[in-house]
Chains A and B, each alone.
Chain A
């Protein structure tokens, strides 16, 4: 799959994926594993599973950040392509999912049904549109790369 960036602003939008993913309260690994914290094996889960989840989620963000900077650099931060191949599709999907999970946690974007960006504060509206952009990329990845 190829994303054609038209210029510096597009690269900046893509660069928001990682900070958005890190904007949640606490690391995603802790949040995902939290429901297991009340069980009999909570300590084992925290010691053995959470570090693995943390490592996986961090590696997804690292791969995406690297790919964006490499493509932006090759394009001189101007117009140019960013290619997502089959091997890196899951890392991209995971990083985009992390970003959307964190945006949802931070801004409660689905609290209003249906969500109305026109009534949102500028910060929340901006988060909403980024989330929708990430969602579109995820849909394309799922339909055209991961499911093939």
Chain B
């Protein structure tokens, strides 16, 4: 059942490589200018992007400020917490895109991809 094994391995690899979100939460103390400054400093974001994320924290109560591999996400959480920002991390939702026609054709030929075809 080579096809079944291929599917399992693909899913395991996807889980291991699942991206993580670094989330900053709003609080009534930190200055907006300071939050922008921290985003520029920690992530190297240009000011417009840092200010946009800061406004998202301010207006929505939270903002995903970075997404990527888990180890690096932990590093960023630590950096942001050291600047006294309320920060957490969470698994990013994997948004599955519908597979391409070629992929579906491949599935029908018995090569599993882990995605479903209509």
Contacts and interface: CB of A to CB of B under 8 A. Distances in A.
A76 interface: no
For chain B, give the interface size range.
Answer: 20 to 34
A53 B28 CA distance: 21
A28 B82 CA distance: 10
B1 to A, nearest CB: 32
B31 interface: yes
Interface stretch (A3-11, A117-125, A136-144): A136-144
B41 to A, nearest CB: 9
Contacts of A139: 31, 33
Contacts of A147: 33, 37
Contact of A28 (B27, B74, B84): B84
A146 B33 CA distance: 11
A61 B85 CA distance: 18
B81 A93 contact: no
Interface residues of A, number: 27
Q: Interface centre among A32, A94, A142, A147, by most B CB within 10 Å?
A: A32
B88 interface: yes
Contact of A36 (B37, B77, B82): B77
B88 A97 contact: no
Given A36-B88, A146-B37, A147-B37, A101 B82 contact: no
Given A32-B86, A49-B78, A97 B30 contact: yes
B78 A52 contact: yes
Nearest to A146: B37
B29 interface: yes
Interface string A27-42: 0100011011001010
A73 to B, nearest CB: 29
Q: DSSP majority for the B interface?
A: mixed
A53 B82 contact: yes
A101 B84 contact: yes
Nearest to B30: A97
Contacts of B31: 135, 138-139, 142
Q: 4 smallest A-B Cβ distances: which pairs?
A: A110-B28, A35-B88, A32-B81, A100-B29
28 contacts: A32-B81, A32-B86, A35-B87, A35-B88, A36-B77, A36-B89, A49-B78, A52-B82, A53-B81, A53-B82, A93-B34, A94-B83, A97-B30, A97-B34, A101-B27, A101-B29, A101-B84, A104-B27, A104-B29, A109-B28, A110-B28, A135-B31, A138-B34, A139-B33, A142-B34, A142-B37, A143-B33, A147-B37
